[in-house]
Structures are given as C-alpha cells and as structure tokens.
A and B are shown apart, each in its own frame.
Chain A
Amino acid sequence: MRKCIYNQCMFFRLDSFALIGIDAIKVSVEVHISRGLPEFIIVGLPGKAVSESRQRVRSAVINSGFDFPVKKIIVNLSPADIKKDGSFYDLPIALSILAASGQIGCGMFKESCFVGELSLDGNINTVKGLISMAEQAQSMGKKFFFVPYEIANQASLISGLKIVACKSLSESVEALAGGEKMEKFICKNKNKSISNKNNLYNFDFKDVKGQLKAKRALEIAVSGRHNIMLIGPPGSGKTMLAQRAVTVMPDLNLEECIEVTKIYSLYEKFVNCLIQKRPFRNPHHTISRVGLIGGGISPRPGEISLAHKGLLFLDEFSQFPKNFIEDLRQPLESREVIITRNHMSYSFPCNFMLIVATNPCYCGYFGDESKKCICSLREVRKFWKKISGPVIDRIDMRVTVARLSESSFIKNECSEGSNQIKNRIRKCINMQNLRFQGKSVSYNSEIGINIISEWLKNDKSIRELICTISRKYNLTARGTVSILKVSRTIADLEESNDIEERHIIEAVHYRVGSNNLDSSICI
C-alpha cells in the first residue's frame, strides 16, 4: 500500500531566481504532484503576482497543447522564508509541472535556469531584472538561461552563459530537447563588445553660446566628479548646461554598462540591450521621497540609483522639500543607499554626480543686470534659508549663470564641442586613476583632508594663500577643503603634478564666485 502511494508521488525541481534589491539570488522551484483532490497551491511566501501565476500557468499549459495534471499540485519556492514577488516564476512553474507529470524529458534541467512570464496562450512575456539574474546564473555555473525573447539582448553580454531566447512555452519545451534544436534558440549576440558610437546624445556643448564660466566650471566638475550648483535667473540656460554635462562624461565601460542596466532593468521591463548612455535623471520637484531615494513595499531603486554612474539634476532645487534634500546626505557620502523593509536590507548603488540649479530668489532676478529683483532682502534670505544646509555644504562648486545679452546671442562664434571637452576630461580622469590606484577613492571629490594636507606639506606659500583666502571670505573648514579638492582637479586638467597658486585662486572663484549673492545673504 505504502509503496503504491510513493509511486504516485511525482517530484521535480528546477532553478530560478528572486530579486533582492538589484541582485538576484537562486530560488529553487519545487513541484510535488500527488493524489488527492485536484488542487494547485504555491507556498514559500508568494506575493500577489506569484499566487496569480496559478491561473496563467494552467491556461498556458493547456493552450500550448499539454495536459494539466488533475491532481494535487504543490509548488514550493525555496528558500521559503524570503518574500517573492514578480511574474517571472510562470515559466519555471509551468516547466516543472510538465516535467513532474512526465510530459517532457528532464535531461537539460540540471544545467539550466528559467525566468519568464506566461500569457494565457503560452507566449512568454518580458520580465524585470533579467541581467542581474543572468549574472547570478553565470556565477552559479549554469550553462543555459531561458529568457523571454524580446529582452534577450539585455543578458547576452554576460560571458560564459548561453542565453536561450524563447517566444513561447512550447518553444522552450522544444529547446529543452537539446542538441541542434536548442542551438536554434540560442541568442547569437552580434556585437560582443559595446559599440563605440560617438553621438550617443542629442545634445552638444556647441549649442551653448557664451556662458564660458559655467562651461569651464562644468568641465572641472565632471572631471573631478564634484557636485555643482548653478545659480541664475530664469532663462539663463541652467537646464541647458546641465543636460549637456552628461555628454562630456567619459563613456561607460562594460562593467559599468552592466551595472546601469541592472538598475534600469528593475525599473522597466523593456530593456532590450545594454544601456551605454550615461544616465541623466531630471526628476520634477513634486517627486515623492520613495521616488527619489528608493523604497516601497518591495524596494525599488529611486531616482538617485537610476542616476548611478551618471548625473542627477535637481532643477528648481529650492522647491524640493527640505527633508528630501536631507535624505541625500548619506547617499552622497557612501555612494549607495540601504533601504530596510520587510526585515531585509536592500542596497542600491547610487554613485552619481549631483547638479542642482536654482534661481537666486523668489522672483528669480536677484543679481541680474537688466531686470530688477522685486524681492525684499528678507525674502531673499528666506529663500536661501530654505535650501542652505548640510547638503549645500557638500556641493563643492557654486556657479552663477547670467542671462546672455542679446548681442552675444546672435553672434555666430564657434564654441567648443562636447568631444573636445570630453577628451580633456578623459585625460584628467586617467590622471586621477593613476594617482588613486589601489586606494578606496577614485575621484578628487572623494579625497579626505589627510591626503590633501600631505600634498601641501612642502609648500608654504600656498598654505599662506589658503589662510588669506579663508579669512577674506570667511570660509568654513569644509569650504576650504572643497576649494583644495577643486584646485586639485584644475591642476589635473593641466596635467600638473603640484597644486599651484593660480589653481587655488580659480577654485576660489567657484566657491565664492557668487560673492554678490553671498554677502547680501550673510550680512
């Protein structure tokens, strides 16, 4: 009797993934089909989307021409104590039921893993986070990875892993037969390396007329990854400048591309290739806290993570709620954000460069030459009170952007294009990389005071200059350090090994350049 029951039990297991933050972990999909009242249960903390997959799986299996076993089916997603969400368990569940009920052979399963959302007719739809799973599959030593056809390219650059792109459940069953049949579905990636396109962006610095100071400041900021603030009246071109800053950032390498794609594939479902553009995120100031930092019931990356390896541009900085801006403090320092929800900590990388833009006052024309500001001084001060604080202190450079006079607008002078600037920046970054080899920092903006003071040890005249400057402009310690960091970048741009006086004086310009503004605010 006992043996009889045992024979009726059918068990099967295959591998799939769960997403924790941006990383994937292995999840085994276990199926047990036994005698009893027909039932289909999924256990292992399934979310709503996973529970609903029962209906999709049943219909897809039947519509693909297979039998759905009329038995008691229990699906377990192990490890069972991690909450699972998302629709990508459909394909693994369906395949494991087919395998457990003996409808398909189970030769290939050991070295494969699966994700995919099924539609009722058996087609496979796209999923999120594919590239993270591919990476995990590779590290698990799997040979084949079954993915939805539409986004297969996304994962194709992971080396040592064959991507099997199937359009439907029946195709994946076909592929599982192995051999030549499988070969047909393997995604043949045409471009094995990232392309070297020059015109990734639609913008170019050539479009910006005048604004030499702001351009120079942005060049320095990008070179040393300094955060920068643009202050200027409406229509002075702050947004235009910020948009173009991303065009002079050096190209992403493969590793970085994968990192960026990982984040974006969590965010949207249809990422069908590696993302090679530096991200430029420009959230509106009505954004929610979770939208900016990341979070939610099953935490998702926020704007700061979407700007990873790229630019986060906060336009109308003063309009952002103060506490949101305070939230940026820790991510700005540690370059990652850790979000704790549901007894789990999720960490998202957010190594971005921050550009903020703001008007100088409520009416926007404080310090403007032609249009008079109508704010009272108290209002101007109130305006700055709202945004000044620890985050402002972390912004190394502040640059005023003036409105162009009509004449310089029409003048057809040729300004530098993004590519020229980019070349200089690349050299500067190389120099920094050389210097920081084997250290935890990679850009000038990240260095601490101890390293800086070592540089200045031998130069008495420079130390004196710094003293004079900080006395004259009443700088805080952090302000002085900022100036030194920026002057290091300026020296790097000139490929000079030592910081010289003129570098420091130029750096001062970007800290206190808005002197007009500062003194009227501080008095």
Chain B
Amino acid sequence: MKNNNGKKILYILVERKVKPSKFIEIYRINHGDINKTLDYFLKCENLKLEYRINGKKDNHTGDGKNYYQRVIDFILKNKVGFIDISEDSYPDILRQIYLPPPLLFFKGNKIKEAKFSVAIVGSRRCTAYGREVTGYISRNLSEIGITVVSGLAVGIDSCAHKAALEGKGGSIGVMGCGIDIVYPPENRFLYEDILSNGSIITEFLPETPPLKSNFPIRNRIISGLCRGVVVIEAGEKSGAAITCEMALKQNREVFAVPGNIFNPMSKGCHKLIKEGAKLVESVDDILEEFSQCYKGILKLCVGSDVNNRKPKERHNTKLCGNELKVYEFIGYKAKSVEEIVRNLRIEVKEVLSILTSLEIKQLIKEDSFNKYSRLF
C-alpha cells in the first residue's frame, strides 16, 4: 500500500461517494495538482453527492466491515495493483482523454510497460473468417512489439487476446466490471493466461457487477489506451461502433477490416470504411498510418524502422494434383462437399481428406455446415 494518493482517491470515491467525473473536473480545475484536489475533497465536509456505489446504499456486510475496508482487504489479499492519475506509470495517452479514470485497478504489469498499443474490437458473434483475421492481425502486431488492447469478451476479443499473448507485444484486457469478477465466465482461463504476458485493468471498483451500462464506459478506455482501433466484424449497432465513436472523439485512428458484403457482421466495418476509416488488409496498413505521426515512439517500441520491415509470406506451401484442383474450385463463395464431388468427379473420401488437409494448411475454412470457402 505504497500508493498513498491512490488510497486517498479510493477513500474519496468510496467513502465520500464522489463521482469519478466530479473528481476529474476538480483535478482539471487545479491544473493537475493532485494534492490540491485531494485536499479539496477531504476538507470539504458537506459534499451533497448521492453517488450510490453498485446501486446499493448500504454497503455493510455481516462482519461489520464497511465497503471501503473490504476493498482494501481485497486488494491486499489478491495482489491487485492500482495506479492513480497522478502517477508516472499512468498511461500518458489515457490521461489525455476527456474523462480519464482517476484510479485504475490492474493485475499484471503490462499496463505500466506498454509503449505503443492498438485496440482490436469486434463482434462477440463472429464468423470463422473473423476469427482467422483477428488471429492474423493480432499475432503480427504483437510480434513486432505492439500491445493489443481488447475487451475480454467472447468472439473477436478473445481471439485477439489469445493471439497477442504469443508475441512480445502482449495484451491488455479492459474489463467492464470489478476486478474480482470474471465476466463472461467462459473466459476464466483467458483471465489467467493473459497475466503471463499482459494485464487486465478496470476503472470499476471491486464488487461492481457487469452492468450493461458499464460497457460503453469501458469502451472509452479501450480506445483511450491506444493510438488506433482496428474493427473486425461489427454489426451496424454494436459495442465496436461505440468504441469507434469514442476513438474519433479522442483523436485516434480507426481501421476496419472488410468482409463479405452479404454477411451482416461486416456491415459495420463497411460503413466505417465508407465514412473514411482505413481499410486494413495486413499489419503494414496499420503501421503505415502510424509511421508518419508516431515514428519516434514506434521505432522505440518496434526496435527498427517499420518502413523497412519486409512483409511476411503467409503461405508458401505448394499444392499439387487434386488438392490444387479442389482449392481452385473452392472460390471465395462457399461450396458444399456435394458440389465439389459432382463438379470435379473426385471420390467423396478423397475430397474429405483434401478438405481437411487444406484446412490444416489454413487455406480454406468451413463457413457453414459442410460448406467451404477460401481464406487466401
């Protein structure tokens, strides 16, 4: 409990029931002087603020401890760290947004180390294509040392985190609930895995349930932490769309990955592209944008000039015989097993084994049941 300012802020937020936005307002009025701000709140006795924590008025539990004590106990016991807005390790880029969180709870140290990060957001209900793209972009970003930020949800978010953990960039997950809650429960293993090469952060106080209203608030941190936001598969009205809006307000770059025009999951991305988001086909499209504005930081982070980076060959496997025939027949529009058999006059058993081996080589994917289309 070295962080005295943080403890005081926690006290003010919890015991005095001060809204974070109010705190930031006073903080800004005092030109970023944390001591003045703290004094203001601690001395000012009759703050008439009705800020209900977690929607409950009475936060006392059976053991007589009040909410503040419980939070302190929890933090000590579970090695949860917190950084306040006045600290040096607080991400600079986040401090610049309209309403930065006065206090961030975190697990894992990535949040302090990350120099350059990009957010990847998208739908929870993604297609095989979406997963493939997410893995590809996230992995490559992480490999060159860029940290991938996402929202710890299922679907695109999980894919992004998992792929990013493989590289040196690592990953940061921003939660929409208290740090003691695992939401969604399916991702509990991801929560553990991410600590190996990343961190999970939240501005919400412990014991805050994952309320619907929390997520748009969280989205501003996702975009706030990053220089750019990559959208992969988003519906027209979705969390990803909100994140983009936030990103634009915060002056961040917005990238979008195109998809199938018939897929409703691609509508959001295409809309963004029409409105001027940058179309992304590979990591180089993202780096290109940054290499102009953030050359210095990027060089520091990546370790070499990004412009000289050679794009990696994705697949150099050579196909021959029937494998090639099947691969060429399967276009970008899904073809069923029956169609392949009928048109190419290859036996079913052979077609099935070819399909699997192409899938193992990551050249095709199963779109819907028994229908395959090309990835590349």
Contacts and interface: CB of A to CB of B under 8 A. Distances in A.
Interface of A: 210-213, 215-216, 231-233, 236, 360, 367-369, 376-378, 381, 400-402, 405, 408, 413, 468-469, 472, 490, 502-503, 505-506, 508-509, 512-516, 519, 523
B349 A216 contact: yes
Nearest to B334: A369
Interface of B: 124-125, 128, 131, 154-155, 158-159, 184, 186, 334, 336-338, 341-342, 348-350, 352-353, 355-357, 359-360, 365-371
19 contacts: A212-B337, A212-B341, A213-B348, A215-B348, A216-B352, A367-B368, A369-B334, A400-B369, A468-B360, A503-B353, A505-B356, A506-B356, A512-B356, A515-B128, A516-B367, A516-B368, A523-B154, A523-B155, A523-B158
B348 A212 contact: yes
Contact of A402 (B125, B155, B336): B336
A236 B336 CA distance: 14
A519 B356 CA distance: 15
Contacts of B352: 213, 216, 506, 509, 513
Contact of B369 (A401, A405, A506): A401
Nearest to B123: A377
A506 B368 contact: no
Given A402-B336, A509-B356, 20 more contacts: A210-B338, A213-B348, A216-B348, A232-B369, A233-B369, A236-B369, A369-B367, A402-B370, A402-B371, A408-B338, A468-B360, A502-B350, A505-B353, A505-B360, A506-B349, A509-B355, A513-B352, A513-B366, A515-B365, A516-B367
Q: Please name the 9 residue pairs, one residue from A and one from B, whose CB atoms are nearest each other, closest first.
A: A506-B353, A402-B369, A369-B368, A400-B369, A509-B356, A402-B370, A505-B353, A212-B348, A516-B366
A360 B369 CA distance: 10
A377 B155 CA distance: 9
Contacts of B369: 231-233, 236, 360, 367-369, 400-402, 514, 516
Nearest to A506: B353
A378 B336 contact: no
A18 B355 CA distance: 58
Contacts of B341: 212
Given A212-B348, A377-B124, A381-B186, A523 B367 contact: no
Nearest to A493: B349
Nearest to A465: B360
Question: Which of the listed residues B128, B158, B349, B359 has the most CB atoms from chain A within 10 Å of its own CB?
Answer: B349
A362 to B, nearest CB: 15
A512 B184 CA distance: 25
Given A212-B348, A506-B353, A516 B336 contact: no
A213 B338 CA distance: 8
Nearest to B338: A210
B197 to A, nearest CB: 19
A368 B368 contact: yes
Given A210-B338, A402-B369, A523 B159 contact: yes
Nearest to A399: B370
A472 B355 CA distance: 15
Contacts of B334: 369
A294 B371 CA distance: 42
Contacts of B355: 509
Q: Determine which residue in B158, B367, B369 has the highest number of CB atoms from chain A within 10 A of its CB, and name it.
A: B369
A378 B334 CA distance: 26
Contacts of A213: 337, 348, 352, 370
Contacts of B128: 515-516, 519
A469 B338 contact: no
B82 to A, nearest CB: 30
Contacts of A515: 128, 359, 365-366
A312 to B, nearest CB: 24
Contacts of A236: 369
Contacts of B155: 377, 523
Contacts of B131: 519, 523
B279 to A, nearest CB: 26
B165 to A, nearest CB: 14
Contacts of A381: 186
A378 B153 CA distance: 12
A377 B342 CA distance: 35
B159 A508 contact: no
B185 to A, nearest CB: 10
Contacts of B367: 369, 516
Contacts of A516: 128, 365-369
Contacts of A378: 184
B371 A369 contact: yes
A378 B155 CA distance: 11
A515 B365 CA distance: 9
B189 to A, nearest CB: 10
Contacts of A490: 349
A402 B368 contact: yes
A378 B183 CA distance: 12
A413 B357 CA distance: 28
A215 B334 CA distance: 21
Contacts of A212: 337-338, 341, 348
Contacts of B359: 515
Nearest to B185: A378
Contacts of B353: 502-503, 505-506, 509
A467 to B, nearest CB: 12
A233 B369 CA distance: 9
A402 B186 CA distance: 28
B105 to A, nearest CB: 26
Contact of A400 (B159, B350, B356, B370): B370
Q: Which of A215, A400, A401, A503 has the most CB of B within 10 A?
A: A400
A121 to B, nearest CB: 63
A490 B348 CA distance: 13
Given A367-B369, A369-B371, A519-B128, A505 B357 contact: yes
> Among the interface residues A378, A506, A523, which one has the most CB atoms of the partner chain B within 10 A?
A523
A104 B338 CA distance: 74
Contacts of A215: 348
A369 B368 CA distance: 6
